[in-house]
């Protein structure tokens, strides 16, 4: 090992953690797998896999509707997952924690329910220039239908928001500020507390896309000053198909349902339907029960390691990687904000990102190449695509060294 990581987690602790992730222990193209695509999705610890198997092996049943024992067990575990999430994000009440499919659905829910109820032509929604497409397109669709206007906070060359511009953008027409907490393309961690303070001074609520922050740092909805916050289970060591929308109860209570059908009703006649209480009003149909139980297990796994330690370790690893990458001639780091998480996005003039990704894959190294569902970020830096290595607490300095060696190989091939 080149450097001993002293921040957050020791090398021994990381070695033990790696044993919790069966998938990491394999050869890919004859080389030990180096998994550096954690921003796309993280690997799953055995605790999560076991929780899902346990549900299907012993408790499989629908939730909330049955009086029989299996249904009660399934309901208890499903609701325990919700309570684990509530604790994890410090939400005041578990009723505010709504199971959705992921961050994409969380954003669409707020756009379609909150937006359709409260926005009218000429109103403005503020986002940042570094949003994932899922925090751009739902507002654009509303724009076409209702006539709202999207305002975009620009950022500097390092990938830091221009907060003066943001302050100037807030006005009497602003109805919502919807911002990414940590950028998936740049790694920038945005100052949500300040963004929220300024918005709240004008009575404007704030939606936070926490898809990339929740797996990597402590996220406290009350400390952030968020009004809505969403994230995906699969990026935080849980299963795919499940995620969370958290919202303030007073806002959620006043919003119309997003989808309708079973579970979200209190009573139905052909003349009239009344809706269920939170969170059920927003959970139409049979939910992803196994997913919710797996997500609860993921939260417990993360809590056992500790989010502050995870954050310190991953940032130290990122700094090590950034230093090594910037030492290579021809490599341009994209995203150099002072406040940033474990994302190493880079561009090489000499080789296309996809070719770099293919060469790295031959070495057993998994990175993501492309626009990372953030095409406006690529446009801002005038690059077609980047290579993105995204880190987890199970990654090591040895793996960063393997990445650097892989890039040396790219330079051998492409010059
Ligand atoms: N926001 C950000 C910042 C993301 O990185 C992603 C996933 N790449 C999403 C939203 C969407 O997440 P999902 O596809 O899981 O809904």
* pLDDT at residue 216 is higher than 80: yes
The Cα 406–Cα 388 span in angstroms is 14
5: pLDDT strictly greater than 60: no
The residue assigned the tokens 């009239």 is: 272
Rounded-to-integer distance, Cα 132 and Cα 178, Å: 11
Query: 364: CA distance to ligand 1 center in Å?
Result: 25
Which ligand 1 atom is the nearest neighbour of the CA of 235? 15
Domains of the chain with CATH codes: 11-38+307-414 (3.90.1150.10), 49-304 (3.40.640.10)
**Chain segment 161-203, per-residue pLDDT in tens:** 999 999 999 999 999 999 999 999 999 999 999 999 999 999 9
Residues 268-305: tens digit of each pLDDT: 999 999 999 999 999 999 999 999 999 999 999 999 99
pLDDT band (50, 70, 90) for residue 6: low
Taking residue 302's Cβ as centre, other Cβ atoms within 10 Å add up to 21
The per-residue pLDDT of the chain, averaged, comes to: 96
* Tens-digit pLDDT profile for residues 345-378: 999 999 999 999 999 999 999 999 999 899 999 9
Which residue from 179, 208, 212 has its CB within 8 A of the most atoms of ligand 1, so it is best to mutate?
212
> What are the catalytic residues?
373
Q: How much is the pLDDT for 1? A: 43
Atom of ligand 1 nearest to the CA of 101: 16
Ligand 1 site, CB within 6 A? 102-104, 132, 134, 180, 184, 209, 211-212, 232, 373
- Is residue 40 classed exposed, middle or buried when 0-12, 13-18 and 19+ CB atoms within 10 A define those classes? middle
- Ranges of beta strands (E only) in 289-405 are 331-333, 343-348, 365-366, 368-370, 386-390
Token pair in block for residue 149 = 């206007």
Lookup: tokens for 245: 């929308």
Q: Does the pLDDT value for residue 7 go beyond 80?
A: no
């Amino acid at each position: 090992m080149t450097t001993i990581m002293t921040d957050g987690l020791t090398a021994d602790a990381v070695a033990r953690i790696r044993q919790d992730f069966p998938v990491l222990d394999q050869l890919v193209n004859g080389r030990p797998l180096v998994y550096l695509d954690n921003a796309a999705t993280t690997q799953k610890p055995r605790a999560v896999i076991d929780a899902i198997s346990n549900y299907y092996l012993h408790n499989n049943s629908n939730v909330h509707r049955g009086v029989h024992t299996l249904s009660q067990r399934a309901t208890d575990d499903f609701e325990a997952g919700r309570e684990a999430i509530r604790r994890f994000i410090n939400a005041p009440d578990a009723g505010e924690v709504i199971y959705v499919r992921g961050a994409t659905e969380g954003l669409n829910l707020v756009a379609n329910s909150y937006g359709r109820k409260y926005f009218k032509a000429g109103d403005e929604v503020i986002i940042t220039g570094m949003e994932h497409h899922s925090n751009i397109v739902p507002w654009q669709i509303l724009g076409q239908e209702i006539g709202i206007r999207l305002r975009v906070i620009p950022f500097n060359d390092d990938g830091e928001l221009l907060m003066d511009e943001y302050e100037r953008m807030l006005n009497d027409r602003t109805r919502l500020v919807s911002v990414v907490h940590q950028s998936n393309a740049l790694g920038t961690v945005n100052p949500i507390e300040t963004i929220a303070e300024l918005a709240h001074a004008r009575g404007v609520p704030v939606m936070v896309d926490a898809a990339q922050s929740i797996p990597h740092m402590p996220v406290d909805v009350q400390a952030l000053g968020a009004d809505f916050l969403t994230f995906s289970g699969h990026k935080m060591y849980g299963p795919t198909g499940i995620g969370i929308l958290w919202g303030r109860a007073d806002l959620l209570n006043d919003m119309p349902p997003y989808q309708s059908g079973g579970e979200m009703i209190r009573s139905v006649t052909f003349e009239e339907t009344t809706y269920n209480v939170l969170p059920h009003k927003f959970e139409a149909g049979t939910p992803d029960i196994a997913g919710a139980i797996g997500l609860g297990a993921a939260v417990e796994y993360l809590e056992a390691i500790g989010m502050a330690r995870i954050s310190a370790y991953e940032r130290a690893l990122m700094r090590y990687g950034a230093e090594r990458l910037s030492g290579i001639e021809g490599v341009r780091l994209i995203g150099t904000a002072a406040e940033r998480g474990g994302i190493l996005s880079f561009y090489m003039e000499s080789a296309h990102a996809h070719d770099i990704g293919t060469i790295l894959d031959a070495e057993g190294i998994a990175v993501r190449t492309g626009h990372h569902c953030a095409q406006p970020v690529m446009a801002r830096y005038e690059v077609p695509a980047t290579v993105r290595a995204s880190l987890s607490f199970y990654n090591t300095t040895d793996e960063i060294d393997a990445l650097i060696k892989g890039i040396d190989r790219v330079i051998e091939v492409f010059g």
